Amino acid sequence: MSGMSGVSDYDVLLETWAELSGLSPERLEQVAAEVVRIPPPTRHNLQILLFSQWAKTDAPAAAEAVLKYTRDSFSRSLCLSNIMARWVEFDPDAAWAHYEERLMPSSGRVGSQGIESHLFSALGRQDFGKALERLTDITRPQIRERALAGLSEVAFKDPALQEQLWAAIDREEDDGLRLRALGAASYQWALREPQECAAWLAQETSLLTDERQFYQNALSQAWMKSSPQQAVEWLLSWAEGPADQENAVRRFASVQDYLPPKELLDWADGLPAELRSDAVFRTTAEQLTARDPSLAIRAAAQIEEQPVRTQSIKSVYRQWVRTDPERARAWRDQSPYRNLLDSGGEIDGLPDG
């Protein structure tokens, strides 16, 4: 990978991929030093690729190199997580020893935070009983919670393993720890297989209300990352009232803020009948008001309850007049809502401009 200046990020990725499998330890070290000079996010991708490949032949050296050549905690944590998970596959005892000696003492301070969930997930798949024994060596609450999340991921769909896991938790650790660990486990599962996770949740009728809420939150957060439209429609299908529907649309809009406003309106307008509601269109109008008031009014116009529809349309228009009175009034004069916006209520107090 010499002479990287002047080549594209894509060229660098291709060159790295082609070279890594046959590189000597010395050359891997040189590549690691060169990659540091590449700006993110390409640097992050290259480092993950480099150190994961390195771990196949020399996991200890790869782990030490991560500490030496990563500049930010995000890259360091991700690279170490991948290395430790690979290392456990062929030598779990050595991987654990390295974690205890080199990583656990500084976890949370040098960017190794977060690796415990990956490490204990890998250890649990190897030998769940032995992983539980190792859990007793971890006493710091935050690290212990991440380790529990990793084991919870392994035990998630196995009641027998879950029973073993919760029996291993000290009595002074409250039930909130259990819920947080299960929530973290369901989040990791949902990142990989959101529809399978959703199907499991729909069939699991024995969950307590707070347990189900934890699972729903974790699943929706993960699903929003990969398929926001599927995630919000799933949330709407579970909504128990207008507040849930409004929250679902707000979350969807927040992760879809790069969408053209027309696409957000088209999404709401294209919902199946069982998911459409006044709350959905009212919240869509709120989300569109600052970006495209005319589309916001079109969303508000689909609210079925007449007083709510009128209030929503007037609210959007009032805000529009405050930010761009000339365009707002020009639009009003050509719109089918002119009489509504000229009459009564809170609109009367608007200045004539």
Bond before 336 cis per omega within 30 degrees:
no
Would residue 273 count as lying in a domain? yes
Evaluate whether residue 179 is within a structural domain: no
- Domain presence at residue 80: no
Sign for the pseudo-dihedral over CA of 338, 344, 350, 352: positive
Residue 308 pLDDT: 93
**In a domain? residue 277:** yes
- For the four alpha carbons of 247, 251, 257 and 259, in that order, the dihedral sign comes to negative
Q: What is the mean pLDDT of residues 12-18?
A: 51
Helical residues (DSSP H) of the chain, grouped into ranges = 9-20, 25-35, 42-69, 73-90, 92-98, 115-126, 128-135, 141-155, 159-167, 175-192, 194-203, 209-226, 228-238, 242-255, 261-269, 278-289, 293-300, 306-323, 325-334, 338-342
**pLDDT digits 0-9 by tens, 222-232:** 898 888 899 99
Q: What is the pTM of this model?
A: 0.58
Decide if 277 contacts 245 (C-beta within 8 A).
Answer: yes
Q: Please give the distance of CA 34 from its chain centroid, rounded to a whole number.
A: 31
In this predicted structure, the answer to whether residue 8 has a pLDDT above a threshold of 70 is no
Higher pLDDT residue, 15 or 349? 15
- The pLDDT, as a whole number, for residue 15 is 55
Residue 349 lies in a domain: yes
The domain total for the chain is: 1
Domain membership flag for residue 326? yes
Using an 8 Å Cβ cutoff, are 251 and 223 in contact? no
Domain region containing 307: 227-353
Is the confidence at residue 344, as pLDDT, over 70? no
Q: Report residue 141's pLDDT band, with 50, 70 and 90 as the boundaries.
A: confident
Encode pLDDT of 73-92 as tens digits. 878 888 998 899 889 988 99
Q: Taking all residues of the chain, what is their mean pLDDT, rounded to a whole number?
A: 82
Predicted confidence (pLDDT) at residue 152 exceeds the cutoff of 80 = yes
Angle at 312 between CA 326 and CA 273, to 5 degrees: 125
3-class SS of residue 171: coil
Answer whether residue 83 is part of any domain: no
The CA distance from 148 to 87, in Å, is 20
Q: Is residue 265 part of a domain?
A: yes
> pLDDT at residue 221 above 50?
yes
